[in-house]
């Protein structure tokens, strides 16, 4: 069985968001990005399913432009990697 979890990174709730000139975007320079807290529930459930049913492959991904993988690193702490 293969399990894929879609995740999205969002600004950390403690990050101060600034509106960019023009008022239609945010300034992204000093934003700390984290995994969407709701997506963490999906990752946790995927890990439970993996353990219960013996899935051999677990992965996550995002289709966001400019996605930086450190935001999803905490998702893999319990398994030490997606391919265990």
**Is 12 within the bounds of a domain?**
yes
At 61-70, the pLDDT tens digits run 666 666 555 4
Say what the pLDDT of residue 72 is.
45
Into how many domains does the chain fold?
A: 1
Using the predicted structure, report yes or no on whether residue 59 has a pLDDT greater than 60: yes
**Is 9 within the bounds of a domain?**
yes
**Over the chain, what HEC string results?**
CEEEEECCEEECCCCCCCECCCCCCECCCCCCEEECHHHHHHHHHHHHHHHHHCCCEEEEECCCCCCCHHHHHHHHCCCCCCCC
**Is 17 within the bounds of a domain?**
yes
**Is 66 within the bounds of a domain?**
yes
Percent of the chain with pLDDT over 70: 67
**Is 81 within the bounds of a domain?**
no
Using the predicted structure, report yes or no on whether residue 82 has a pLDDT greater than 70: no
- Residue span of the structural domain in which 24 resides: 2-76
pTM of the predicted model as reported, rounded to 2 decimal places: 0.60
**Is 47 within the bounds of a domain?**
yes
């Amino acid at each position: 069985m293969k399990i894929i979890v879609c995740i999205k990174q969002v600004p950390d709730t403690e990050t101060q968001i600034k509106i960019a000139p023009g008022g239609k975007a945010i300034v992204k320079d000093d934003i700390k990005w984290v995994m969407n807290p709701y997506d963490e529930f999906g990752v946790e459930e995927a890990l439970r399913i993996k353990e219960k049913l013996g899935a051999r492959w677990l992965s996550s991904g995002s289709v966001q432009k400019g996605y930086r993988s450190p935001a999803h690193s905490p998702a893999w702490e319990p398994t030490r990697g997606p391919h265990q």
